[in-house]
Amino acid sequence: MTRPLIGVTTSRRSGWRVYPLVNLNLWLTGGRGIRWGAGRPADLTTVDGIIIGGGDDIAPELYGGKLGISARLDRARDAFEQDLAEQAIARGIPVLGICRGAQMLNVALGGSLDQTAWQTYGQQEVIRTVLPRRAIDIAPGSVLERIAGPQEMTVNALHTQAIDRLGEGLRIVARDKEGMPQAVEYPRDPFALGVQWHPEHLFYAHRQRAIFRALVEAARARAEQRAALPLAAG
């Protein structure tokens, strides 16, 4: 069976070490990746799904905010990924957002971010680790629950910001114990899921691989549907 092709956006700073992990997860779950980014060729007509990766903060002017604690900005990447997310949703292309990618999915759909999320939710200790140290609860009846199961999940955390006002059509489907949003999803087609953590670092955990598998399966279904269109037309 042909492996669906997934476009993967990365940071210019850290993409060299993160992309291989993302692609490993895709390969383990039946897909294959191609690395995209600002300044790199990117054509949505050539892929079956996309992953908007982590790294870098999103410039607050994109959602009507003011520059606060954010320091690691890449405005070229912001423009590239915002357009990519908008087009993917409009064209019915499956999307997985990872950390910054979840935030960009929210911003592209008209939402905003909380630049001081750790303080907002009363968390004095900022957890920044690739190890699973943070417990989250998954919303009953969500797509994420169907993918990963209803049990409490332990995830990692590398972010400073979090989703604030929800983008159009999105819903929050996971929160940590203090109430901070940890995942959002589009409850109808196309498949669109954003997770605040980094499942690519947790490839040894079957529930984390299941997130990539869900994207790959959605991408495969779209590819098969597209392949059948000429036959239907004939």
State the catalytic residues: 99, 198, 200
Got the DSSP string for 182-229? EEEEESSSSPEEEESS-GGGGTTSHHHHHHHHHHHHHHHHHHHHHHHH
- Taking the alpha carbons at both ends of the chain, their separation in whole angstroms is 24
Q: Provide the phi-psi class of 121: left if phi over 0, else alpha when psi is between -120 and 50, else beta.
A: alpha
Decide if 152 contacts 145 (C-beta within 8 A). no
Closest to 10 (Cα-Cα) out of 89, 95, 79, 81: 81
Alpha helices in 109-173 (DSSP H): 117-120, 143-148
Going 112 to 151 to 157 to 5, the CA torsion angle's sign is negative
Going 152 to 155 to 157 to 159, the CA torsion angle's sign is negative
Tokens found for residue 12: 């210019």
Report d(CA 204, CA 39) in Å as an integer.
32
Tokens found for residue 121: 């939710």
